[in-house]
Amino acid sequence: MNPVYETLQKAPALNKQELLSFLSQQETAIPVKLHTPSGNSFTAIIISLSKTSEEGNVITAELVDDRGLPRENYLYLAVNSIESIEIFGTENAIKILSAGTAQSGFAYGVSGKLDVNRAFKTFADYIKQQSGINTGLPEMELPSDGTALNRIVKLTGIIQQTIAEILKSEDARESWQQKYNRIAFVNSNHFDVKGNGNLLQILFPFADTGVPELQQENLSDKIMSAL
């Protein structure tokens, strides 16, 4: 089955209000086309969603041209007057219809196991250089899929930067040295960080390209709780 279809089949069902609310909260504007029962259509960027006593939920949007550039014309429209919302592009469709909980695997290239092993060596060398802590090479059972391997390379970079930042603290360095001399990345269906003897385990859907990537703030909090 097409991976896009598989991802969209897992997306939660959103009503128009929820979908428009999500669009209005995006830092990077995503143009969509709004269709009305009268046959009119408007390509626009949703600015806000609010509620009135008479018309109920209404949107404010800025109209854009065919290239997605602002026209400096604005639309005020009741949500009940919107018959359908057309979304442009696979990446946007997955992001919007999943309310940000999924992303397309097309965001990844293809890597080999050698690329991952190089990323693991860079990981250990960088942290040793920055903090003096020897984490050792991350231990992991690698998948065979090249797209999943590319995701692991990217996630390794995120983990590397997060740990290097944490180990700028002397207390964190001392705690790490007392507790851990090994680190493992564990492909899991949930996110967690936990100690297992002298091994620090980071559990995450490393190989699932339909799951959003690690957020450094969340990862930092989890690692600190394990120190």
Mean per-residue pLDDT of the chain: 90
What number is the average pLDDT over the span 125-137?
94
Sort strands 32-35 and 84-87 into parallel, antiparallel or unpaired. Answer: antiparallel
Question: pLDDT tens digits, residue range 193-225?
Answer: 999 999 999 999 999 887 778 888 889 999 999
pTM (predicted TM-score): 0.59
SS3 per residue for 100-125: CCCCCHHHCCCCCHHHHHHHHHHHHH
Confidence of residue 8 (pLDDT cuts 50, 70, 90): confident
What number is the average pLDDT over the span 50-60?
90
Cβ atoms of residues 94 and 107 within 8 Å: no
With 60 as the cut, is the pLDDT of residue 124 above it? yes
φ and ψ of 75, to 5 deg: -120, 130
Amino acid occupying residue 36: T
Of 123, 96, 92, residue with least CA distance to 107: 92
Question: pLDDT tens digits, residue range 137-181?
Answer: 999 999 999 999 999 999 999 999 999 999 999 999 999 999 999
Residue 143's pLDDT is 94
Residue 93's pLDDT is 86
The contacts of residue 171 (CB under 8 Å, 6+ apart) are none
Confidence of residue 2 (pLDDT cuts 50, 70, 90): low
The contacts of residue 164 (CB under 8 Å, 6+ apart) are 126, 127, 130, 131
Residue 103's pLDDT is 65
Residue 3's pLDDT is 63
- Provide the H-helix boundaries in the chain: 3-9, 16-24, 90-97, 113-131, 146-166, 170-179, 216-226
With 60 as the cut, is the pLDDT of residue 90 above it? yes
What number is the average pLDDT over the span 124-133?
94
Residue 106's pLDDT is 58
With 90 as the cut, is the pLDDT of residue 58 above it? yes
